[in-house]
A = this chain, B = another copy of it.
Amino acid sequence: MSVAYSFTPAVTGSEASLTGIVTLVQADMGRVNALILSRTGSDVAMIPEVAQHLISSGGKRLRPMLTLATGALAGYQGDGTVKLAASVEFMHTATLLHDDVVDDSEMRRGKLAARMLWGNEASVLVGDFLLGQAFRMMIEVGNMRALDILSTAAVVIAEGEVAQLAAAKNIATDEDAYLAVIRGKTAELFAAACEVGPVLSGRTPAEQAACRAYGMNLGIAFQLVDDALDYGGSQADLGKNVGDDFREGKITLPVVLAVRNSDETERQFWRRCLERGEIGEGDLQQALALLVRHGAIAATVERARAYGLAAKQALDVFPSSPARDALLDVVDFCISRVR
């Protein structure tokens, strides 16, 4: 592509900055991974096949690491966070399987989406299986407040996804409506993943709320960076094609911001491409040019930075520790995926 961006991918720096959390939770992540493997098992052979295809495809497992790391921050000693971390990853995986059906996606994490290999049916049903297994593991932990947080998250995620469906193909979506969508579909699970460790540890409500706020703000920042990358990252970085959101008619923050400042000709362009789905040769380049002209990608990254800062500040209630340092580094990692 010939359009110039105000940022470039930062592979070296970003890989380095997850080192803190990876080291911190290494031992427990081994147990989480073993649990994930054993709980995808089933006499019905198709279930582990489909589940493992996605689970073993090289996701960072950021969400379960967050559950373990916030548990460590809160001084948690038991094995409850291991099960809850595996639950969180299963909830995430179930969402991805269902999302691929919803979006008609052909690729996921650089591999063919499960639905392309086993069909939409298997993706829907294996997603349901994993969601059920997630609840079983949570129930085994036996903490009612954690159950409440994670089951509420399941509801809020689905609401966010449906809201996104309703907002899709509508270029009148404003920034508030868009933020409500990503709070639900992305940030709620980050928030829940970060809240349950301090809950199991019996930390104060203020400390639980701080970890939740960290997760929520981090999740929003994470999604906004993803939105920016969808119009600017290289295919190798994202494991999906640049312009996927554009082709699927998804209204993301870069588009919301560009539309807000656009003239009638530009609006016609966005309407044709995103509302009516009439996308031809050169239209993605044209979209990229409009986003750059209005500074919409830079503004999206700017907002991501602000949420990232809020995530870091939320942890001010905790004294300095290796766990807190690792969690602060995660924010920098997420933001550094774009410069």
A130-151 vs B, Cβ < 8 Å mask (1 yes, 0 no): 0111011001001010011001
A175 at the interface (CB under 8 A from B): no
A44 at the interface (CB under 8 A from B): yes
**Count of identical protomers in the assembly:** 2
A237 at the interface (CB under 8 A from B): no
**Are A165 and B131 also in contact (CB < 8 A) when A42-B159, A136-B152 are?**
no
A101–B129 CB distance below 8 A: no
Our pick among B42, B158, B163, B166 for the contact of A128 (Cβ within 8 Å) is: B158
B142–A155 CB distance below 8 A: no
Chain B residues whose CB sits within 8 angstroms of the CB of A47 once the complex forms: 159, 162
A155–B136 CB distance below 8 A: yes
**Are A163 and B44 also in contact (CB < 8 A) when A133-B155, A151-B136 are?**
yes
Chain B residues whose CB sits within 8 angstroms of the CB of A148 once the complex forms: 136, 139
Contact size class for A? Answer: 35 or more
For the complex, would chain A's binding face be called helix, strand, loop or mixed by DSSP majority?
Answer: helix
A65-102 vs B, Cβ < 8 Å mask (1 yes, 0 no): 00000000000000000000000000000000010011
B128–A98 CB distance below 8 A: yes
Our pick among B124, B154, B162 for the contact of A126 (Cβ within 8 Å) is: B162
A125 at the interface (CB under 8 A from B): yes
- Residues in A lying within 8 Å of B, measured CB to CB: 42-47, 98, 101-102, 120-122, 124-126, 128-129, 131-133, 135-136, 139, 142, 144, 147-148, 151-152, 154-155, 157-159, 161-163, 165-166
In the complex, 21 of the A-B residue pairs with CB atoms within 8 angstroms, ordered by the A residue number, are A42-B162, A44-B162, A44-B166, A46-B166, A47-B162, A101-B101, A102-B121, A124-B124, A125-B161, A125-B165, A126-B162, A128-B161, A129-B159, A132-B151, A132-B152, A132-B154, A132-B157, A135-B135, A135-B154, A142-B144, A147-B147
